[in-house]
Amino acid sequence: MRPLALAVLAVAAATFGLRAQDPVTFEVASVKASAGCPPACGLIRPTVGTGGYHIEGAFLRTIMTVAYTVTDRQISGGPAWINTDRFDIEAKAAGSRTTDELHVMLQHLIEERFNLKLRREARQESVWNLVVAKGGAKLTAHDPEDKDYPPIGGQMVKAPDGSVCPGLMGHNVRMDYFAFFLSRTLDRAVIDKTELTARYDINLQFMPDGAKFGDGGAGPTVSPDCTDLYSALPKQLGLKLEAGKGPVDFLVVERVDKPTEN
């Protein structure tokens, strides 16, 4: 056989061998109803090393927002229990996976175990574009060898005078995930247009819309330096939000069933 033909066969064998032995599905997965609300109720996170997912006491609707990277307002349809019944999921892949692969694997898992059928719709909507502000980004790059990707969480920063400012804290964060998290906070989808490709540590303090502290003399006083998100982003992270229009994905639940214990 000619060398070129041998080379083509070798590449084909390697490619199809990888797909056959290592599909984008979890090697082992357990899905069951939560027995009450566990200590980490609502926790959804990749396992350390990105080899799977650990989920405790989460609503299916919330799990869907993570799997398909959409906000709650982008999901419609389905029975009431997807917003009220909690589930525990332990899923393990054959090896380490990228974040995007884990999302696809989680999609496949809930589609199989919950018999989930979705219809996708793309709609032109008002969006926020996340871009680098004038003067450049002010972000701390995370160690690329660290394979732990915890979810972004809230924080409350206390000043020396006792005043406080809420905000967000994230470690090992990609910009598209940060944009997705901001989408949950704001009234419209946030699209990552920063072109920043590394992972970063995020430390951001701002006053969310509608939040109140120190009402009637009760509770902590808001720090005078605590500004809104639109002002905090360029000052603290060198990023900003620009209004725009763009396609936004929506999911319509056409069928879903409660899973059997496994």
User: Which tokens go with 207?
Assistant: 């006053």
Residues 6+ apart with CB under 8 A from 33: 85, 86, 87, 88, 258, 261
Question: Model confidence over 27-74: pLDDT tens digits?
Answer: 999 999 998 786 778 999 888 777 899 999 999 999 999 999 999 999
The whole-angstrom separation of Cα 169 and Cα 201 is 8
Helix (H, G, I), strand (E, B) or coil at 161: coil
83-140 pLDDT, tens digit per residue, is: 999 999 999 998 888 888 899 999 999 999 999 999 999 999 999 999 999 999 999 9
Sequence spans of domains, the chain:
3-114, 124-247
β-strand partners of 170: 202
Q: With residue 3 as reference, give the H or E element that holds it.
A: helix 3-21
218 band by pLDDT with thresholds 50, 70 and 90: low
Integer Cα distance of 15 and 220 in angstroms: 59
- Could you tell me if 250 and 123 are in contact, meaning their C-beta atoms sit under 8 angstroms apart? yes
- Residue 81 has a pLDDT of 97
Alpha-carbon torsion 38, 41, 46, 49, what sign? Answer: negative
Token digits for 141? 């790059």
Q: What's the rounded Cα separation, in Å, for the pair 261 and 33?
A: 8
Contact present, 67 and 110 (Cβ < 8 Å): yes
Stated pTM of the model: 0.77
For residues 193-207, give the mean pLDDT.
Answer: 96
* pLDDT tens by residue, 138-189: 999 999 998 888 889 888 998 888 899 999 999 999 999 999 999 998 989 9
